[in-house]
Amino acid sequence: MATQQPTQTDNSAQAQPPQTNPAKPTEISEPGIYVALTHDHLNYQSVIDRVRSPEAGAIVVFAGTTRNNFNSLPVQHLSYTSYAPLALRTMLTICRSILTKHGLKGIAMVHRLGVVPIGEESILIAVSSPHRQAAWRAGEEALEECKAKVEVWKREEFGGEGGGVWRANRDGAVGVKVDEPRIGKGEVDEKEDEGDSGNGGNDRKS
């Protein structure tokens, strides 16, 4: 018989990822943790309220907003796409780890999908802890982990003949231009930023 995938059912003890509907917010929550993907505007108050605790003396909130340029190239707008069930699972794993590591009372991470107009929030992270130091550190670490691992992709549209690119957080590398479908090699290789890593690839191996 064919071999079973070792990876299929390992994490069955975790919360089951919900079925995802692109038109609706998708979320997972468990005690002290809330993660979500949404096509709606992000709401500070609701994220803060997710982590509010009488045992916390500090809440730190990070807001990532969409910038109007990349290395001085004007960006007209950005859009985000995700592999929602996997992205939520990864967000949950990150939040569990950081909650424990920093002794947090709560952590919430919400990423927006679809077109995000310039200057608007694309991600909110809130953490609460008894004292501020842990909250500052945890907030930064949560964001860095998210940017390194969560299966969300940003596309920057430059407008005009500039087309658009899929951004890669790693090394700030530019992915393949997306202004036209392409079959075969063509100029793809020139557009790849090999970066220091030699492959510009993901930094995670499982």
* Residue 172 to residues 29, 38, 165, 193, Cα–Cα distance (Å): 31, 25, 12, 9
Q: Name the packing angle between helices 84-101 and 132-149 (round to 10°).
A: 150
What is the rounded radius of gyration, in angstroms, for the C-alpha atoms of the chain?
19
| Min CB(57)–other proteins separation in Å | 27
Nearer to other proteins, 7 or 31 (CB): 7
CB 120 within 8 A of CB 65: yes
Site for other proteins in 79-108 (CB under 8 A): 80-87, 89
Q: Please, how many CA atoms are within 13 Å of residue 140, restricted to the half-sphere of its CB?
A: 5
| Min CB(8)–other proteins separation in Å | 5
147 binds other proteins (CB under 8 A): yes
- Give the amino acid at 162: G
Binding residues for substrate: 131-132, 147, 154-156
Contact positions vs other proteins (CB under 8 A): 2-3, 5-8, 10-11, 17, 19-22, 64, 80-87, 89, 111, 122-123, 143, 146-155, 166-170, 173, 175-178, 181-186, 188-189, 192, 199-202, 204-206
